[in-house]
């Protein structure tokens, strides 16, 4: 347990905070809980410190006896999902779904189990009610037909539970659907940017499947799907008449394809999970004697529900894995960046001790070594400050001491100190260009100085041939615009936005092995946004230099002023 705790010492506790579901990490050998996010604390009622005194069996009944637990420990590549009763702190039982994954620590040979836990009590009750409705409706149909339709749900569930890769799995589910529920089936997903794209398509006739795919590629029609995505309500209607087809057709070829596919009856049902609209499933019949009714819709909605659950589970699993990878990346980067200045301090201290012991210590050696120790200590203090700031930002409590600040005076002072340093080192040039009258803003002067200093440090760092810097300050859109420009390595176009994310750096900086944790600009962005401002980067590309832009509003102005 102590070793596992050390593995987690550098984790500031914020990597899992953005995950909405309970996430629990337990030592595979002892089953003791080592990591417990706020959602888990809310679900079970134990604080993170209390949870670390518990084992998994203390909060989830019979988990260790399940085949899913054994398969996870054996390293199965298939996601293991199991539903059991969980126990909250005060003894209340809650029905939960656990998705189990096996993790190998990047820092040791320890094995852990990641469990994503969700309270599915309401879903279980709703599922029982839905299945009762399905059973009632199916009981009214012919026994053979009822068996085939329920078999579709069973086969779909088997496919969906067997793979983390939901995209090819949904294609297989579409093929299962055309065996009984439809002549052809198409699955659309709703992307984060609002784009509707078709993901899977199957037709009972291979020749017409090719035609249906061509139709989707050449003439995508998503009116009905978009309506279902907007309302969340399933739709059932008859296929297009000849008049409708002629009105919809873009050209003669489009009309030919619509006629050949000949949709007679259509169901469109939403894919929903945890209240979030994920996409839609369309089931189409081309048989003249088959018109979809309420019993068909009940089966289709249950199929869509299971598909939506699979998509949501897969995305949730990916989020959890991404969080774990980000944590490992944090440990790796922080260890490397902290190790370098510590090694310098120790190295120069040992050299001074040895020289003093041998009687070889000179004033010049002492001055040079102490200067380098001082520089390494400053670097170490800066890294620790950045890590503490990131932790405060993610916790939502980065403190600001706001007052009226003369930005012009603050910029003059910071740039003046920087100019003196560059002149003393004879290592570059820094020009200051102030346009217009002085401007005041409501801000924390120490945080604004931190932003400007960080931008200047970056400009020097990414100008390996010697910094040629320019700082420009001017009134802009009911605020003030600060620009820090360099003639350094520039930015690849695809990284201009990403460099403001935590631990993210431009690809050309990593290729040149320029050191850094990728936290400075992330901190700058959060400080600026807390001041209701904006920060962005401009670059013509690699080798063309970079300009970092910061806009801060005058009192009572807003970022909308900049857009205007």
Q: Quick check: 177 pLDDT over 80?
A: no
Q: Does 134 lie in the same domain as 114?
A: no
Average pLDDT estimate for 361-367: 83
Band of residue 9 on the pLDDT scale cut at 50, 70, 90: very low
In this structure, of 298-312, 400-414, 527-541, the range with the lowest mean pLDDT score is 298-312
CB 179 within 8 A of CB 203: no
Strand partners, 101: 114
CB 208 within 8 A of CB 197: no
The domain boundary, picked from 119, 148, 166, lies at: 119
Match 């009856």 to its residue by tokens: 265
Strands 276-285 and 265-273: antiparallel
Query: Considering the domain boundaries, does residue 187 fall inside one?
Result: yes
At 555 the pLDDT is: 75
Query: Considering the domain boundaries, does residue 325 fall inside one?
Result: no
Please report, for residues 16, 103, 146, 361, 455, the alpha-carbon distance to residue 106 in angstroms, rounded to integers and kept in the order given. 17, 9, 51, 43, 33
At 498 the pLDDT is: 79
Q: Does 155 lie in the same domain as 290?
A: yes
Helices (H), 430-519: 445-461, 507-511
Angle at the Cα of 59 from the Cα atoms of 55 and 65, rounded to 5 degrees: 75
At 151 the pLDDT is: 62
CA 89 – CA 532 distance, rounded (Å): 42
3-state secondary structure of 152: helix
At 143 the pLDDT is: 47
We report the CATH number of the domain holding residue 50 as: 3.30.450.20
Average pLDDT estimate for 163-191: 78
Q: Quick check: 533 pLDDT over 50?
A: yes
Please report, for residues 137, 164, 205, 292, 524, the alpha-carbon distance to residue 238 in angstroms, rounded to integers and kept in the order given. 21, 36, 21, 8, 57
Query: Considering the domain boundaries, does residue 321 fall inside one?
Result: no
Higher pLDDT, 347 or 119: 119
The domain boundary, picked from 119, 150, 175, lies at: 119
Q: Does 558 lie in the same domain as 420?
A: yes
CA 329 – CA 325 distance, rounded (Å): 6
Residue 116 in tokens = 């994503």
* CB neighbour class for 310 (10 Å; exposed up to 12, middle 13-18, buried from 19): buried
At 264 the pLDDT is: 81
Strands (E), 157-233: 184-190, 196-203
Backbone angles phi, psi at 384, to 5 degrees: -65, -40
Average pLDDT estimate for 40-44: 91
Q: Does 198 lie in the same domain as 267?
A: yes
CA 457 – CA 379 distance, rounded (Å): 12
CA 426 – CA 479 distance, rounded (Å): 35
The domain boundary, picked from 395, 424, 442, lies at: 395
CB 476 within 8 A of CB 443: no
CA 397 – CA 391 distance, rounded (Å): 9
| Number of residues written out for the chain | 564
At 31 the pLDDT is: 92
Q: Does 435 lie in the same domain as 518?
A: yes
Report the domain count for the chain: 4
Q: Does 140 lie in the same domain as 287?
A: yes
Match 């020749």 to its residue by tokens: 207
Please report, for residues 149, 195, 239, 297, 386, the alpha-carbon distance to residue 234 in angstroms, rounded to integers and kept in the order given. 19, 20, 16, 8, 50
Express as a percent the part of the chain with pLDDT over 70. 81
Helices (H), 198-251: 206-218, 223-231, 242-248
Is the four-CA dihedral 203, 207, 213, 216 of positive or negative sign? Answer: negative
Q: What integer best gives the mean pLDDT of the chain?
A: 80
Q: Does 536 lie in the same domain as 499?
A: yes
Helices (H), 426-471: 445-461
Match 């993210």 to its residue by tokens: 504
At 141 the pLDDT is: 56
Residue 511 exposure: Cα atoms within 13 Å on the Cβ side? 8
Q: Does 257 lie in the same domain as 183?
A: yes
Q: Does 60 lie in the same domain as 86?
A: yes
Q: What is the DSSP letter of 190?
A: E
DSSP 295-350: HHHHHHHHHHHHHHHHHHHHHHHHHHHHHHHHHHHHHHHHHHHHHHHHHHHHHHHH
How do residues 466-522 score in pLDDT, each as one tens digit?
Answer: 778 889 999 987 889 999 998 888 888 777 777 888 777 776 676 666 666 677 888
CB 550 within 8 A of CB 481: yes
How do residues 293-327 score in pLDDT, each as one tens digit?
Answer: 887 888 888 888 877 777 777 777 777 776 666 66
How do residues 239-268 score in pLDDT, each as one tens digit?
Answer: 667 787 888 888 888 888 888 888 888 889
How do residues 265-283 score in pLDDT, each as one tens digit?
Answer: 888 988 888 778 888 888 8
At 87 the pLDDT is: 92
We report the CATH number of the domain holding residue 310 as: 3.30.450.40
Band of residue 367 on the pLDDT scale cut at 50, 70, 90: confident
Please report, for residues 205, 278, 322, 379, 389, the alpha-carbon distance to residue 516 in angstroms, rounded to integers and kept in the order given. 58, 38, 21, 11, 16
The CA-based diameter of the chain, rounded to the nearest angstrom, is 104
- First vs last C-alpha separation in the chain: 57
Q: Does 195 lie in the same domain as 340?
A: no
Q: Does 386 lie in the same domain as 409?
A: no
What is the domain extent for residue 194? 124-315
Residue 172 in tokens = 């297989």
The helix (H) or strand (E) run that includes residue 267 is strand 265-273
Q: Quick check: 45 pLDDT over 90?
A: yes
Q: Quick check: 22 pLDDT over 70?
A: yes
We report the CATH number of the domain holding residue 387 as: 1.10.287.130
Band of residue 358 on the pLDDT scale cut at 50, 70, 90: confident
Band of residue 32 on the pLDDT scale cut at 50, 70, 90: very high
Strand partners, 95: 85
Average pLDDT estimate for 438-445: 87
Average pLDDT estimate for 44-55: 91
Average pLDDT estimate for 208-228: 84
At 5 the pLDDT is: 40
């Amino acid at each position: 347990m102590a070793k596992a705790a050390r593995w987690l010492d550098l984790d500031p506790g914020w990597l899992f905070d953005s995950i909405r579901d309970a996430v629990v990490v337990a030592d595979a050998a002892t089953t003791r809980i080592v990591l417990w996010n706020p959602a888990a604390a809310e679900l079970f009622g134990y604080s993170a410190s209390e949870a670390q005194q518990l084992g998994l069996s203390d909060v989830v009944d019979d988990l260790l006896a399940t085949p899913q637990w054994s398969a996870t420990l054996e390293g199965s590549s298939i996601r293991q999902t199991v539903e059991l009763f969980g126990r909250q702190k005060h003894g209340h039982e809650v029905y939960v779904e656990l998705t189990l994954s096996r993790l190998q620590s990047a820092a040791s040979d320890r094995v852990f189990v990641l469990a994503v836990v969700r309270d599915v009590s309401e879903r279980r009750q709703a599922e029982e009610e839905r299945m009762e409705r399905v059973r009632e409706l199916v009981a009214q149909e012919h026994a053979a037909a009822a068996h085939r339709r329920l078999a579709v749900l069973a086969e779909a569930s088997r496919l969906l539970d067997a793979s983390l890769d939901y995209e090819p799995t949904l294609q297989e589910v579409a093929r299962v659907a055309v065996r009984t529920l439809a002549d052809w089936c198409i699955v659309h997903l709703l992307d984060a940017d609002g784009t509707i794209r078709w993901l899977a398509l199957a037709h009972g006739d291979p020749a017409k499947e090719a035609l249906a795919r061509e139709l989707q590629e050449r003439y995508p029609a998503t009116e009905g799907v978009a309506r279902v995505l907007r309302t969340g309500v399933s739709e059932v209607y008859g296929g297009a008449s000849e008049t409708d087809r002629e009105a919809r057709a873009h050209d003669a070829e489009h009309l030919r394809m619509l006629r050949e596919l000949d949709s007679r009856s259509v169901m469109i049902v939403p894919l929903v999970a945890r209240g979030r609209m994920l996409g839609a499933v369309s089931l189409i019949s081309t048989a003249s004697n088959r018109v979809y009714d309420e019993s068909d819709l009940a089966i289709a909605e249950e199929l869509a529900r299971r598909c939506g659950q699979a998509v949501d589970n897969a995305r949730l699993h990916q989020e959890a894995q991404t969080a774990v990878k980000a944590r490992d990346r944090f440990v790796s980067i922080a260890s490397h960046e902290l190790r370098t200045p510590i090694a310098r301090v120790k190295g120069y201290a040992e050299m001074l001790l040895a020289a003093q012991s041998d009687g070889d210590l000179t004033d010049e050696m002492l001055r040079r070594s102490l200067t380098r120790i001082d520089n390494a200590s400053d670097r170490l203090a800066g890294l620790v400050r950045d890590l503490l700031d990131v932790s405060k930002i993610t916790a939502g409590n980065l403190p600001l001491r706001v007052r009226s600040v003369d930005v012009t005076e603050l910029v003059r002072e910071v740039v003046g100190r920087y100019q003196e340093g560059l002149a003393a080192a004879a290592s570059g040039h820094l020009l200051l260009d102030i346009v217009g009258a002085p401007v005041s803003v409501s801000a924390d002067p120490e945080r604004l100085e931190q932003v400007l200093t960080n931008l200047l440090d970056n400009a020097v760092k990414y100008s390996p041939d010697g910094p040629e810097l320019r700082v420009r300050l001017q009134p802009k859109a009911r605020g003030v615009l600060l620009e820090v420009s360099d003639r350094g390595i520039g930015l690849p176009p695809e990284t201009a936005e990403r460099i403001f994310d935590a631990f993210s750096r431009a690809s050309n900086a990593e290729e040149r092995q320029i050191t850094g944790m990728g936290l400075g600009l992330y901190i700058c962005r959060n400080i600026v946004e807390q001041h209701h401002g904006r920060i962005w980067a401009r670059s013509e590309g690699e080798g063309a230099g970079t300009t970092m832009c910061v806009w801060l509003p005058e009192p009572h102005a807003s970022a909308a002023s900049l857009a205007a």
